[in-house]
């Protein structure tokens, strides 16, 4: 399957999941609760990086564009609209990044949907950390969680590599007006933001590599905790993590 087909297939799958959720208000609210909890957990896990002058922008980019709870439907639609054009206009490395992002997005939506289905079945007086721990335990799928992390890191490493392509930043800047005219400014903004943030870290010795290694280490540790810790211990750790992000 080529890049355009992969992107369109992923966007279609995500759109189908969202349409189903829109038809079920309880499920829609549960999915929103899952995404909100994960965003808060990320903010707690990386509170130090979010406050860091060197890594703060990168951490916020990951929180808002990869781990966040905002609506990505506009960017998805733009991805699908220009999927074929990506291969004609952008270097292969940019196309690979777009494919990685699309694949990450569909896997995340599928996992969040499964978590939300369990979330709905739990007593309403169950705390959010307890709910999340139970949901994770019920759906399992640790290989998919490991793959999800691998995809996140790929997007990060791809963006880091893009900063090293001569002339690409100028190309992105020159595309602002055409992108707006074509209705793909959301995708354009994502690419520019990622390029600038990782380009900034490239000015520091091994900045991007240190940042991504930190994400890999901490997320891998959370996957292991969520998979193997006793529930009471896990609930306490999640509560502490959420408090760190406030």
pLDDT digits (tens, 9 = 90+) for 18-74: 888 888 999 999 999 999 999 999 999 999 999 988 888 888 888 887 776 666 666
Non-local CB neighbours of 220 within 8 Å, separated by 6+ positions: 149
Neighbour-count burial of 64, counting CB atoms closer than 10 A to its CB (0-12 exposed, 13-18 middle, 19+ buried): middle
Q: Give residue limits of the domains in the chain.
A: 3-244
Q: Cα 142 vs. chain centroid, distance in angstroms? A: 17
pLDDT digits (tens, 9 = 90+) for 147-189: 999 998 988 888 888 777 776 666 666 666 655 655 556 666 7
Q: Rounded to the nearest 10 degrees, what angle do helices 142-162 and 185-201 cross at?
A: 80
Which pTM does this prediction carry? 0.83
Q: Rounded to the nearest 10 degrees, what angle do helices 142-162 and 207-228 cross at?
A: 170
Q: How many residues does the chain have?
A: 246
pLDDT digits (tens, 9 = 90+) for 80-133: 665 666 666 666 777 777 788 888 888 999 999 999 999 998 888 888 999 999
């Amino acid at each position: 399957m080529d890049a355009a087909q992969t992107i369109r297939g992923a966007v279609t799958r995500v759109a189908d999941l969202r349409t189903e959720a829109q038809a079920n208000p309880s499920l829609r609210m549960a999915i929103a609760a899952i995404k909100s909890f994960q965003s808060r957990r990320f903010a707690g896990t990386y509170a130090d990086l979010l406050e860091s002058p060197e890594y703060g922008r990168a951490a916020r980019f990951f929180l808002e564009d990869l781990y966040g709870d905002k609506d990505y439907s506009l960017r998805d639609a733009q991805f699908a609209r220009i999927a074929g054009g990506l291969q004609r206009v952008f270097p292969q490395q940019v196309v690979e990044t777009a494919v990685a992002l699309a694949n990450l997005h569909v896997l995340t939506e599928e996992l969040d949907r499964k978590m939300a289905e369990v979330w709905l079945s739990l007593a309403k007086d169950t705390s959010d950390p307890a709910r999340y721990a139970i949901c994770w335990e019920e759906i399992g799928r640790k290989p998919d969680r490991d793959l999800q992390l691998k995809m996140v890191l790929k997007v990060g490493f791809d963006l880091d590599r893009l900063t090293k392509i001569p002339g690409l930043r100028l190309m992105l800047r020159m595309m602002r007006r055409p992108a707006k005219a074509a209705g793909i400014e959301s995708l354009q903004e994502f690419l520019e933001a990622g390029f600038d943030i990782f380009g900034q870290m490239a000015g520091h010795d091994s900045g991007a590599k240190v940042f991504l290694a930190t994400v890999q280490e901490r997320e891998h540790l959370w996957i292991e905790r969520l998979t193997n810790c006793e529930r009471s211990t896990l609930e306490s750790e999640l509560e502490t993590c959420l408090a760190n992000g406030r």
